[in-house]
Structure 1
């Protein structure tokens, strides 16, 4: 029996108040003038105006990633037509969890305090939320469950405090090497989102039917591009943090700092574009018929690159139909697409029959994900 699956409720949690650009260093900390100047350059590139942090100006943690995810799930449940006790499957995603062991879903389940249930943990970068989403979708589609939730949370700011960069300046890093860390430091922020999925639509309000989810890794062609937990020697060889004699030595060698390789990033764009064109043919997708295009991108400048590339393909979704929360909420990594759909539902009067296309390119080691939803 073919079972349709619907997103019947969404939830969000954004910690603290919106933090404007001029107050950022009061939260993530000031390292030196050189990094501050690079930070101001990054802000001009990414176009972000405000973001949220789950810590105070003194560096005190107000939440954990699991706590934020649980709050987003409770928000989704509070907006739903079902009792929390009906939830029987939980898939949780994040880039970096609160603990090394056990899995993130266990932590989220523990924070929720709901009855025993099946869980699944997904750890990647921005596309990990889509991995969790597809897991719930397939569980419901197969008849294993009737109700499940996909959630994602990020607490990036805790990794951007000055202590994580101690001693790095003495190594004489050039501006390009510094930009590998400063771009993310001034772009990523904190938050959590959740989607509740059921095998029946809502009775009293709109739902979103899941038409398909498409996800593909191209890690066979690329080295890590956005990464933490490894460093490279002068020969370009990578050494995982766990191969050092101690965690302290790994940190001293820069193996725990989050980095972005820009040369590699730009080499991924044509691969993503080719996959999109293949998807258009394979799924018989009509870009001009898409009513809302949720495009995840980390920087306004990268949006420009995406627009130019998609325009050349002849399969461009009209830019007037693009929707993003980047400029007001920053790049919340795996939680971004979940928060984006939540905001779209809150702000737009979605009509039955409208289609929502989600696009999530992950630079971690080149992953790309798409989803198509129909308003019912």
Structure 2
């Protein structure tokens, strides 16, 4: 379709779902459990590093699930549809994102569609880590832009806490003879939260209230330059060798080797951060992002210390956007992976900060195998 036939696209509704009551730092380990019955040696350090004060978990301290990833994602999508003044029956395209869905197969979108109780619609599942939210957004945006759908949802959900229970680590190579979990695994247990977020896209702005005109969405994968930085499905040593993935070893051997658990290479993360910033600088050099024209920046980051590192690098460049323009809810909801950016956007749009004519830039870096996404919007 030629450029002249493409339609403008607007976010007309946002929604979020956060399970249970906020959980404070003193009780987080009660929910994810204690490996070998012992308190984590790195948990307090991880929480100081990430600056999270409260977060939400979709399970009880006994490990009983209160929701599914799909049910939370569906709840957030219903909230977004309600915000847009639309019924579920109006939805024509559902694009979903997640790091780890409820099933291995089929995709997350099938499960979310079933939970929504919607009639026959088109669906698409996007699976990665945090940036999968913008993968889904670009898919939904293009559907509406090309005239393939009149109402599309881009939704993301995470149920990370169930993967952090002790049984994923005990009796595996991730725990030493003294019962201590490997730092790269244990540290991550105090990094991620549960929840879901969703946005609704239409070819016209809502008749009442504010909408966001989506100007563009860019995604850049740097997987050709880096080994996995955050992954599940392989050992540390063999993570870049697809023939050594968990499925070749079989589930029992994979669990014993620690290949089933989610882990993070924090040394590699320090290098990947600079690669993300490099893409950001390229956008500025190309004129794709003009920092002085950005009124609000919603940048997803997993920890307060990572924000500080990003800012310290950007301050010496022309790409820096003043911190008073940054909006974040990390301290109160934590890092919800792919859902983070939509939960953040929902809170931002309901905060009263957005004014007509302002530019809102969303940035979602992903440590999975080094990726970063950008979305530029205008408040209308």
* Matching residue within 40, 46, 68 for 2:44: 40
Distance in 1, matches of 2:35 and 2:8, equals 52
Alpha carbons 1:5, 1:200 under 8 Å: kept? yes
3-state DSSP class of the match of 2:42? Answer: helix
The question of 1:317 aligning with 2:331 is answered: no
Q: What's the counterpart of residue 75 of structure 1?
A: 79
C-alpha displacement at 1:172, in angstroms? 5.1
Distance in 1, matches of 2:252 and 2:352, equals 49
The question of 1:186 aligning with 2:216 is answered: no
Alpha carbons 2:36, 2:170 under 8 Å: kept? no
3-state DSSP class of the match of 1:119? Answer: strand
Alpha carbons 2:211, 2:379 under 8 Å: kept? yes
Distance in 1, matches of 2:346 and 2:241, equals 42
Q: What's the counterpart of residue 276 of structure 2?
A: 272
Distance in 2, matches of 1:322 and 1:366, equals 23
Q: What's the counterpart of residue 248 of structure 2?
A: 243
Q: Deviations over 1:304-354 (max 9, x none)?
A: 100011112221000011111110001000000010100001113321101
Q: What's the counterpart of residue 210 of structure 1?
A: 214
Q: What's the counterpart of residue 24 of structure 1?
A: 28
Q: What's the counterpart of residue 115 of structure 1?
A: 119
Unaligned runs of 5+ in 1: none
Q: What's the counterpart of residue 225 of structure 1?
A: 229
Alpha carbons 2:95, 2:125 under 8 Å: kept? yes
3-state DSSP class of the match of 2:26? Answer: helix
3-state DSSP class of the match of 1:248? Answer: helix
3-state DSSP class of the match of 2:298? Answer: strand
Distance in 2, matches of 1:173 and 1:365, equals 32
Alpha carbons 2:239, 2:245 under 8 Å: kept? no
The question of 1:292 aligning with 2:303 is answered: no
The aligned runs of 1:1-376 (5 Å cut-off) are: 1-32=5-36, 36-168=40-172, 171=176, 178-233=182-237, 239-244=244-249, 246-376=250-380
Distance in 2, matches of 1:157 and 1:107, equals 19
C-alpha displacement at 1:82, in angstroms? 2.7
Alpha carbons 1:193, 1:335 under 8 Å: kept? yes
Alpha carbons 1:35, 1:182 under 8 Å: kept? no
Distance in 1, matches of 2:312 and 2:179, equals 30
C-alpha displacement at 1:170, in angstroms? 5.3
Alpha carbons 1:9, 1:207 under 8 Å: kept? yes
Distance in 2, matches of 1:233 and 1:104, equals 29
Distance in 1, matches of 2:83 and 2:240, equals 50
Off by >3 Å, runs of 4+ in structure 1: 32-35, 168-175, 232-238
3-state DSSP class of the match of 2:228? Answer: coil
Q: Taking structure 1 as the reference length, what is the TM-score of the superposition?
A: 0.95
Distance 1:11 1:241, change over 3 A: same
RMSD: 1.9
Distance in 2, matches of 1:36 and 1:171, equals 13
Unaligned runs of 5+ in 2: none
Deviates more, 1:58-67 or 1:272-281: 272-281
Q: How many residues align?
A: 374
Alpha carbons 2:36, 2:179 under 8 Å: kept? no
Distance in 1, matches of 2:90 and 2:310, equals 41
Q: Taking structure 2 as the reference length, what is the TM-score of the superposition?
A: 0.94
